[in-house]
């Protein structure tokens, strides 16, 4: 099994060089599976009826939602952990702290080592297409399989090098250009 990607040559309409043709990548086949299919497949693998699996899954989902909204990082067995968080602006003064500083509520999923290893070890197959959809070549990955880790050691979430933090952690950005995010939140637009 492999992750299948399409790289299709297109004329860029935005960016630094609009009008230039470049290969743009996208997933080839990412479809949404139905719950019924997931429960049926799990029943086949476990020997437990799909109805019992659905009832257990629904109960676990209710517990996970309840605990996560109470501020817990909840284990998702075999997958990782899930918790809720916020993105917010950082302010200096105590009187400036208000709920209007919160820009978004977030769901934070931290995959388990097993899930990360599975992704790292799954090859990527790229099919290169011209503008008309004709196959030009196929490439199989030879990359390191490096996995982007969105959580740092403080339990805060980093989105690339934008320096945003969430939920009371400290910013681990090593090259800030303005603002100070210590204590959580971002500096307005989420980028330093």
- For the segment 21-50, the average pLDDT, to the nearest whole number, is 91
Q: What is the model's pTM?
A: 0.61
Would you say 154 and 173 are in contact if contact means Cβ atoms under 8 Å apart?
no
Is the pLDDT at 165 greater than 60? The verdict is no
Give domain status of residue 52, yes or no: yes
Could you say which DSSP state residue 153 is in?
Answer: T
Is the pLDDT at 12 greater than 90? The verdict is no
Is the pLDDT at 41 greater than 80? The verdict is yes
Distance, in Å, from the CA atom of 150 to the CA atom of 21, rounded to the nearest integer, reads: 32
- For the segment 70-78, the average pLDDT, to the nearest whole number, is 94
- For the segment 154-166, the average pLDDT, to the nearest whole number, is 41
Q: pLDDT at position 151, please? A: 58
Give domain status of residue 192, yes or no: no
Give domain status of residue 58, yes or no: yes
In the chain, the number of structural domains is 1
Give domain status of residue 51, yes or no: yes
Give me the percent of the chain exceeding a pLDDT of 70. 78
- Can you list the alpha helix ranges (DSSP code H) found in 100-189? 113-121
Q: pLDDT at position 150, please? A: 65
Is the pLDDT at 187 greater than 90? The verdict is no
- For the segment 107-118, the average pLDDT, to the nearest whole number, is 93
Give domain status of residue 61, yes or no: yes
| Parent domain of 64 | 36-70
Residue found under tokens 């230039």: 20
162: Cβ contacts below 8 Å, ≥ 6 apart = 173, 186, 190, 191, 192
Give domain status of residue 104, yes or no: no
Is the pLDDT at 152 greater than 60? The verdict is no
Could you say which DSSP state residue 34 is in?
Answer: P
Is the pLDDT at 9 greater than 60? The verdict is yes
- For the segment 28-55, the average pLDDT, to the nearest whole number, is 92
């Amino acid at each position: 099994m492999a992750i299948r990607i399409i790289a299709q040559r297109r004329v860029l309409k935005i960016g630094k060089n609009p009008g230039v043709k470049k290969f743009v990548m996208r997933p080839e086949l990412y479809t949404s599976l139905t719950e019924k299919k997931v429960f049926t497949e799990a029943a086949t693998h476990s020997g437990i009826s799909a109805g019992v699996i659905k009832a257990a899954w629904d109960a676990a989902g209710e517990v996970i939602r309840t605990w996560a909204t109470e501020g817990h990082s909840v284990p998702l067995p075999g997958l990782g952990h899930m918790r809720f968080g916020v993105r917010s602006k950082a302010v200096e003064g105590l009187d400036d702290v208000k709920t209007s500083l919160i820009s978004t509520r977030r769901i934070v999923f931290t995959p388990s080592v097993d899930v990360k290893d599975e992704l790292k070890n799954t090859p990527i197959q790229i099919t290169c297409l011209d503008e008309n959809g004709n196959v030009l070549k196929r490439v199989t990955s030879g990359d390191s399989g490096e996995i982007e880790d969105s959580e740092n050691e403080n339990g805060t979430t980093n989105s690339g090098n934008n320096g945003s933090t969430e939920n009371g952690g400290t910013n681990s950005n090593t090259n800030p250009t303005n603002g100070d995010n210590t204590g959580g939140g971002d500096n307005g637009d989420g980028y330093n």
